[in-house]
Structure 1
Amino acid sequence: MPKIWKRGKWLVLIIVIAILLSFAYHTGLERDNLTFVEIWLRDILAPLESGATTVFNKIGGITGYFTGYGALVKERDGLQEEVAALRQENDLLKDEQLENVRLKKLLVMKEGMAQQWQMIAANVIGRDLNNWYHSILIDRGSGDGLKKDMVVINYDGLVGRIIALSQNSAEVLLLPDREGAVGALVQISRTSGIIEGTGSEGYLRMVHLPHDAEVRENQIVLTSGLGGVFPAGLRIGFITEIMVEPNGLMKQAQVKPFVDFEHLEEVLVLTKPINGVDIP
């Protein structure tokens, strides 16, 4: 214990002397020569002072690093928020642009048929969640003059027909549904058949084609007007494949619909032919 105490006293003494010399150095007059004691103490304390300076510099560097890092993190967060806001604004603008394109196409379609049909535009507000391609719900109903079996189209072609009504809405049976059979014909050869739904958006099936019918891939299929529900001449789709039926007497064709049933948003309801003129 006495030895430790003595060592401690010498250490305290050296520190005190160093402090006094430092004070004298910084406050005293400029001198050309140092005393022997000053030189001796400086040589002893120089490594300690150098180490302390290094430590303080590193501490300052670390403090500056964390300060700078915090500023960078704050700037990054601000930029991320700005990017997110710009992305959302861009998405809204794209959505508005796509909506304008669809509405322009619908307007062109309406103007092209205005001399033959009275029509009402409607928005899709719901779908059958149990069968996505069974039916849609539109925001027009009996209060707008709609009736059961009225035909629904969009700018691409035939969508389906109304099967149920309320005052302000109507349910539309879609063409791909298995119950949505439509009289059809091949545009070029005028070969008649029946379009049947397959229960999916991808393809329809045209059946009851004669074995010797002149039907080929990429030919367009239209409504034939037979059956009294769908007027003639509405676009349905195009043939992608031709197959012989199991009995070998008839053919059937796989048809890709023109309408994108997956993304229906706006439609037209054909309410009444003008002057009794049907679509040619």
Structure 2
Amino acid sequence: MLLCALLAGALMFADLRFTRMEPVRAQLSTLVAPIQWLVSLPSDALNWAALAFSDQRELLDENRQLREQILTLSHRVQRMASLTAENVRLRELLDAARERDIPFITAELLSLDPDPFSHRMVIDRGRRDGVFVGQPVMDAAGLVGQVTSVSAYASRVLLVADASHALPIQVNRNGLRFIIQGTGQYDTLSVLHVPDTADIREGDLLVTSGLAGRFPAGYPVARVTAVVHDPGEPFARVDARPVAQLQRARHFLLLFPPEPPEALGRGGWQVSLDPSAIEAARQVMGPVEEDD
């Protein structure tokens, strides 16, 4: 032990005073590398096995959830087929026009507006894809917003949560129509001018009403979270939560709604709409701007 201690001290002195020990250290490190690899092999194998089993468990859980979701959606589709057939028969009895499928294209998020007081985003579809100002934007859950400016390869979207955005909606349960406006917060929208006696409740689903012709009717917008009645006030305060995943969604649908038909008078004749009235109705739903 004394000899080893003396040898170690001599090697440290030589390493400190002379540079010839550097190539020796490099060669020794090369010789020791396989031993270090063999020593760390069991630990690396255990870590790899644990990671593989963890990934396998996550895949199995995800697969189970997807199977349950497929079963749920299959049940809904079966029920929807019956409701669709019934709807067609009722429309034929009422001699109503049949609803047409609305074409769409997909888009992906490019960037978000860094301004904390503005809720806008940029998507990877533009004029070359047929995108136009005022076009509705959806995600998998509901309405996200509308296109406010278009360039050749990208478009800017104003989200429903922005304080300058408003659109006409109706209560899905009873058809009452109101205006919903953003509050500047992603999780809260405000339903404007709701009479204190209106039949609106917490949990009601709010959908697009189709008025003004910009947003097609029937698409989910928000769900009522609070209805506050102030004594002596003519209007109730109604808050709602957007159904769209405004802060998490990355893929979107751009809808191409059909042109609204011309209005018919009481006797069935066509009535020309006042352009100033149309423009005023469109301004209610939020400002739009166009880029070259």
Cα distance in structure 1, aligned partners of 2:185 and 2:100 = 34
User: Which of 233, 257, 271 is 1:248 aligned to?
Assistant: 233
User: Which of 204, 210, 217 is 2:202 aligned to?
Assistant: 217
Cα distance in structure 2, aligned partners of 1:275 and 1:178 = 27
User: Which of 165, 175, 185 is 1:190 aligned to?
Assistant: 175
2:187 pairs with 1:202: yes
TM, length-normalised to structure 1: 0.59
Deviation at 1:210, TM superposition (A): 1.1
Cα distance in structure 2, aligned partners of 1:96 and 1:174 = 33
Instruction: Give 2:81's aligned residue.
Output: none
Change (3 A) 1:268 1:244: same
- Give the length in aligned residue pairs: 200
Does structure 2 retain, via aligned residues, the 8 Å contact 1:122–1:140?
A: yes
User: Which of 130, 145, 158 is 1:145 aligned to?
Assistant: 130
Q: Which has the higher mean CA deviation after the structures are superposed, 239-248 or 181-190? A: 239-248
TM, length-normalised to structure 2: 0.57
Deviation at 1:211, TM superposition (A): 1.5
Instruction: Give 1:159's aligned residue.
Output: 144
User: Structure 1, unaligned stretches of length 5 or more?
Assistant: 1-67
User: Structure 2, unaligned stretches of length 5 or more?
Assistant: 1-34, 78-83, 85-98, 263-292
Deviation at 1:244, TM superposition (A): 3.0
Q: Rg: which structure is higher?
A: 1
Deviation at 1:190, TM superposition (A): 2.1
Letter in 1 for 2:46: L
Cα distance in structure 1, aligned partners of 2:54 and 2:211 = 50
For residues 42-101 of structure 1, the C-alpha deviation after alignment (integer angstroms, 9 at most, x for no partner) is: xxxxxxxxxxxxxxxxxxxxxxxxxx99965441134335545776798899999999x9
- Aligned Cα root-mean-square deviation (Å): 3.9
Change (3 A) 1:95 1:269: farther
Instruction: Give 1:79's aligned residue.
Output: 46
Q: How does 1:241-280 map to 2 (within 5 A)?
A: 241-244=226-229, 248-273=233-258
Does structure 1 retain, via aligned residues, the 8 Å contact 2:215–2:257?
A: no
Quick check: which one's helix share is greater? Answer: 1
